[in-house]
Amino acid sequence: MPYSVEYFNEHVLAEIERWPVGILADYARLVELLAEFGPDLRMPHTRALGDGLFELRARGREGIGRALYCYLVGERVVVLHAFTKKTKATPKRDLEIARRRMKEVRDG
């Protein structure tokens, strides 16, 4: 797999691991695809949110999970923030958290 998938911190991974089993199973499949195809993976699996931020779109019978991520030099993917969706739109607060973390990882 050409892309490595990392997590901003252990809390992001822990949040994902708390997702219901159906959403988690889809997430695991999508991460494998993301690692294999990187930026070539598109809708319906991922969606660009602008300025280098993307969302991985996991779903299961129990609902919808989102993992917000960015790419770094060296074929690295960093998962910045994760949550389960309760509304149709991605909450502004979750976008702000991901954008702040993206700036932090890119600025080093």
How do the domains of the chain map onto residue ranges?
4-107
Whether the CB-CB separation of 23 and 32 falls below 8 Å is answered with no
Would you state the pLDDT for residue 52?
Answer: 96
Q: What would be the CATH architecture of the domain defined by 4-107? A: 2-Layer Sandwich (3.30)
Please give the share of the chain, as a percent, with pLDDT higher than 90: 91
- The vertex-66 CA angle with 75 and 108, nearest 5°, equals 40
Whether the CB-CB separation of 6 and 78 falls below 8 Å is answered with yes
Whether the CB-CB separation of 54 and 65 falls below 8 Å is answered with no
Would you state the pLDDT for residue 88?
Answer: 87
Would you state the pLDDT for residue 77?
Answer: 97
- At 29-54, the pLDDT tens digits run 999 999 999 999 999 999 999 999 99
- The vertex-43 CA angle with 98 and 19, nearest 5°, equals 55
Q: Which residue has the higher pLDDT, 35 or 1?
A: 35
pLDDT tier at 1 (50, 70, 90 boundaries)? low
